[in-house]
Amino acid sequence: MFTKVTSGEVQTITIQFEGETLVVRKGLNVAAALLEAGVKQFRETPVSGQARTPFCMMGVCFDCLLIIDGMHNQQSCMIEVAEGMKIERQLGMATIEFNASAEQGL
Ligand code: FES
């Protein structure tokens, strides 16, 4: 849903990106907020290390993956910014915790 916002009605929130405090517009998704703040690289590919930036902005391409509040592989174009959110670039392979005993029903 889109709503028309006049300049006097813009609300902002504060997030952290790579340890830097950013003031962004409330209601944006994380990818849009970071792009608007001038962030160009969101992640790098695990194979070649090539820099990636959001492409589709609708949850299809996975080029917007970030670490959000400590959780890897978050599609930033599908998540709304929230006050105090801590965001980091996802560089290389994502860390995935695997509990072998839980997987094997032990
Ligand atoms: S920009 Fe394509 S999945 Fe997020």
Q: Give the domain CATH number at 82.
A: 3.10.20.440
Contacts of 16 (CB under 8 A, 6+ apart): 22, 84, 85, 86, 87
Instruction: Point out the least confidently predicted range of 7-11, 17-21, 32-36, 75-79.
Output: 7-11
User: What is the reported pLDDT for 102?
Assistant: 62
**Token pair 């970071």 is at which residue?**
34
pLDDT in tens, 84-97: 999 999 998 766 66
- Nearest CA to 62 out of 53, 70, 71 is that of 53
CA distance 62 to 13: 25
22 located within any domain: yes
101 located within any domain: no
| Inter-CA distances, 27 with 30, 47, 84, 91, 106, Å | 9, 34, 14, 26, 43
- Cβ–ligand 1 distance for 62 under 6 Å, the answer yes
71 located within any domain: yes
Q: Which atom of ligand 1 is nearest to the CA of 75?
A: 4
Q: Check whether 56 has a pLDDT greater than 80.
A: yes
Testing ligand 1's pocket by substitution, the residue of 53, 56, 68 carrying the most ligand atoms inside 8 A of its CB is: 56
- Cβ–ligand 1 distance for 63 under 6 Å, the answer yes
102 located within any domain: no
